[in-house]
């Protein structure tokens, strides 16, 4: 990843967690940032395959709380495409229901 593709973030974490991160970085010969980025990447990857969380993500998309780009970043392009089609079908179904009422 090129430097221009990175974004600086700052956050507070418990001392014990950072101490563990630093110890692992020492063992692996990496720096703290590498460990944190890897942990975050793995967490997000696992979260994308959690059915309950995927349902929450879908609901947020259906309610227009997140954008298509955010949806893709969270669940991947293929799943995002499926959810976009379903949203379109749901929206059309709603319009049909209102028109029939």
| Per-residue model confidence as pLDDT tens for the chain (101 residues) | 445 688 999 999 999 999 999 999 999 999 999 999 999 999 988 887 888 998 999 999 999 999 999 999 988 899 999 999 988 888 776 666 666 66
Locate 76 and state its tokens: 């991947």
pLDDT value at residue 1 = 47
The pTM assigned to this predicted structure is 0.64
To the nearest 10 degrees (0 to 180), the angle between helices 68-75 and 51-62 is: 170
Overall size of the chain counted in residues? 101
Give the pLDDT of residue 91.
78
Report how far residue 7's alpha carbon sits from residue 30's, in angstroms, rounded to the nearest whole number. 19
Please name the residues in contact with 36: beta carbons below 8 A apart, sequence gap of 6 or more. 21
Instruction: Please provide the DSSP assignment of 55-69 as one string.
Output: HHHHHHHHTTSS-HH
């Amino acid at each position: 990843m090129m430097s221009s593709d990175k974004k600086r973030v700052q956050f507070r974490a418990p001392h014990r967690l950072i101490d563990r991160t630093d110890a692992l970085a020492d063992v692996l010969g990496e720096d703290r940032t590498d460990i944190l980025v890897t942990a975050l990447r793995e967490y997000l990857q696992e979260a994308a395959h959690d059915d309950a969380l995927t349902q929450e993500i879908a609901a947020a998309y259906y309610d227009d709380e997140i954008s298509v780009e955010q949806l893709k970043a969270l669940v991947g392009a293929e799943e995002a495409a499926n959810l976009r089609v379903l949203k379109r079908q749901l929206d059309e179904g709603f319009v049909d229901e209102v028109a029939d009422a």
